[in-house]
Structures are given as structure tokens and as C-alpha cells.
Structure 1
């Protein structure tokens, strides 16, 4: 029964309807569509695959490091992972996305997990002494709920893809059937990505994605915007 409860916790916190504000962001997709880089199912799939690879080598490592630290109640390492995740983002909108979602997840976690570690982290987020990024918040909450690090990593990867595909349905001419086919294919890459980063340290985090950074910069000054990034 404990295994079944963990499965349901995974489903609950991986749900795209989780009230952390993911629906407000497109992870750069809106600009990509406006600039003609994404214009059909194939180009959408290519961008989502690129985004999930980038997420694995950046936030994925921060999440895994913070998850291990949370199990040992090591707040110093958690804060280091938080700073590393935030500082490696160049665009202001990308930073806004991660801290806004991170804070909302932390507030949600305070109501369901209610652990001293989460309370300490959120106190520092509110005081401005740590940014409060989404992957680190997810690491703390999932650790508190008994969800394994690999499963938390998979949840994060799924969230990146689901966010972008949900935005695509509102931004371009594409069907639910096509986005679900893309999601299934993207989900199939998660094990390989996990194996690539599972032993990574904070110094291994990398975020080289110049096209995404340019699109994010373009989006800041866009006259017509549906999403916050």
C-alpha cells in the first residue's frame, strides 16, 4: 500500500494542473513560434527535445544534488544548488519563471509536507537570502514525501515537456493527438538523460543554449504576448 501511495504522490505532483503557475509560461516556445523557428509538429518536437536535454544538464543536476542534501537535512548544500540553478540563467524571464514556480511549490509544500527543512528553506526564500528555484523546491518536497531522486528527476523532465506542449495548443495549429505523440516520445528519453547526469555535481551544471537565450531576449520586448516567457 505504501508503494501505491507513492505512485499517487508522483501523479499528483507531476500533474500539469498542479497550482504552481506553469500554465503562465511557455519556456521560450512563444518567441520560437513568432519567429518561425517552430511551425509544425516536427519542429515543435525538436524544440521540446532540446529543452528537456538542457533541463537535465542544468536543473536536473541541481534537483538531484538538492534531493540528496534534503535527505541529510543539509540546508547549506540546498542553498548552493538554489543559487547555482538561478545564476546559470541569463534571461530575466527564465529567472522569473523558476522563482515564481518555486515559491508557489514551496507554499503548497508547506501545507502538505510540513517539515522543518522546507520551512527553513521557505523562510530564506521570503527573506531574499536564497532565490527559491523550482527544481530545488521540487527536490525538497519530493524528498519529504518519500519520492526517490530518480522519480523526482522524471517528474521535472515531464513538467518541462508538458508545459511547452500545453502552450503549443494555445499558440499554434496543432492537435491534442500530435502533442500526446510528442510527449510519449520525449518521455522515452528520460532514462538516458538521468544516466548522463545522475553523478553530476553543481560544477557540472551547464546551460549553453544561445538560440533559446536570444528568443527569451526577443520575448521581453514583444508587443503581443500570451505567456510570461
Structure 2
């Protein structure tokens, strides 16, 4: 019997890609995906400017809190709800979650951020739309593709949830990818703002992995009743950014 590949037990068979959706998710939520996420700091810029966040530990605590019980957590819940609405072909439910996503933006800049990212994601991900075969997708894809919130666009997590359903991507994995895609740009922004050495930024991202996984796991079974934020410092920082004298980022 030939030796097992490194990392596999002798009786554990080697296989191809275990999750066919993984390459798609790596592309859709990569920092290189053209949605312009690099232009937004989500209020982190004002937190750095005011001396609230000053080092790698501060960045890790800031982003971890957003994922646990802040805007990152709410994004994941909204994404899951949008996914279920799109998969069921429920237009009314989908419009409701889109409206709610805009209403939960606590400042003008955060509203602009989620709508701009949502519009860019919708356009850039058009190649993946309609690839899935989930329940109700074929009948509803064309109708849902045209749905926009009354404010004039779809919030980013709602656009992401709809795309995942239309492309037949698994919700659990999509939530992990989205959570990582939420955290990584903020750490990248901190590299420029604090500034942080790349070695510290990598350490921060590594340390955030449990928070990313935990938030995604909780969101997979969450409902809109689980929405809520206690990250008031982040919300205030996002508002204060609107009048920051010198700015590198749009939020």
C-alpha cells in the first residue's frame, strides 16, 4: 500500500475539491473583487484619528466587536435573510430585508457605503447569477434581479445573500466568506491608518479567525429577531467621520 499524502491518515482517502463552491467564494469575497471596498473604513479612520484605536490589539478588538455584536453581525443576519428570501422566490420578504438593511445604517456615510458596495457587487457578480438550481431560483431569478429597495439600491449584505441563493452557493460557507470579507478590508485600512506593519496585520487577521467562524455559525441559524448592535463606539465614530478634517477614506 502506498503512503498517504502528507496530512492524511493512512485510511483517509485523498480527494479532489471537497467543496465545489470554494473557488467561487474565494473570488466573490476576495479583496481584489472590484467593489471598491478599499475606499471605506467603516468609521475606523475617525477612531484612529481620535486615538481610540492605536495598535494591532486595538484593531483586533474593534473588528472582533463588530463581528460579535455590531454592524458585521447585523450584516451576516441580513445576508442570511436575503438568501432565504431569494431561495424561496419571496419578493415581498426580499424587499423588506433590503429596506431594513438601509434603515439599520446608522449614519449617512454607512448608508452610502452599503449601497455603493451593494451596487458594485451586483454588477461585478453578474457572471454568477442564475447558476444555481435551488428551490424557486429559476422562477424567481429574473424578477429578483430587478428588485431594488425604494432608496435606490440594495445594501451589500442583501445583494450578497441574493447572489448566493441564485448561484446555488451554500449559506454556511458564504457567511464565512462574507465575514472574512468584512474583516480583512478593515485590517487593511488599519495598515494605512495606524499604521500597522504587515506582520502585525497578519497576526490580527489570524487572531480574528475564531470570531469570523463563530459569527458565521451563529448567523446561519439566526433570524431577524437576532438583529441588534451594542457597538456604540463604532456607530459614533462613523458619524464623526463625516466632519473629520483630513480623510483618506469615504467612511
After TM superposition, the score normalised by the length of structure 2 is: 0.83
Match of 2:65 in 1: 50
Match of 1:97 in 2: 113
1:35 aligns with 2:58: no
Assess if the C-alpha contact under 8 Å between 1:28 and 1:215 holds in 2.
yes
3-state SS of 1:124 partner: coil
**Distance in 2 of aligned mates of 1:129 and 1:217:** 20
The correspondence for 1:60, drawn from 53, 73, 76, is: 76
Segments of structure 1 that go 5 or more residues without pairing to the other structure are: none
The correspondence for 1:123, drawn from 137, 146, 166, is: 146
Assess if the C-alpha contact under 8 Å between 1:16 and 1:163 holds in 2.
yes
- Shift in alpha-carbon separation, 1:205–1:131, aligned structure 2, 3 A: farther
The correspondence for 2:26, drawn from 1, 4, 11, is: 11
How much does 1:57 deviate?
3.4
Segments of structure 2 that go 5 or more residues without pairing to the other structure are: 1-15, 132-137
How much does 1:130 deviate?
5.8
Greater radius of gyration (CA) = 2
After TM superposition, the score normalised by the length of structure 1 is: 0.90
The alignment of Structure 1 onto Structure 2 pairs a total of residues equal to 228
1:20 aligns with 2:42: no
The correspondence for 1:159, drawn from 176, 181, 201, is: 181
The 4+ residue runs of structure 1 with deviation greater than 6 A are none
Assess if the C-alpha contact under 8 Å between 1:27 and 1:163 holds in 2.
no
**Between Structure 1 and Structure 2, which shows a larger proportion of helix residues?**
1
How much does 1:119 deviate?
4.7
The 10-residue stretch of structure 1 (68-77 or 155-164) with the greater mean CA deviation from structure 2: 68-77
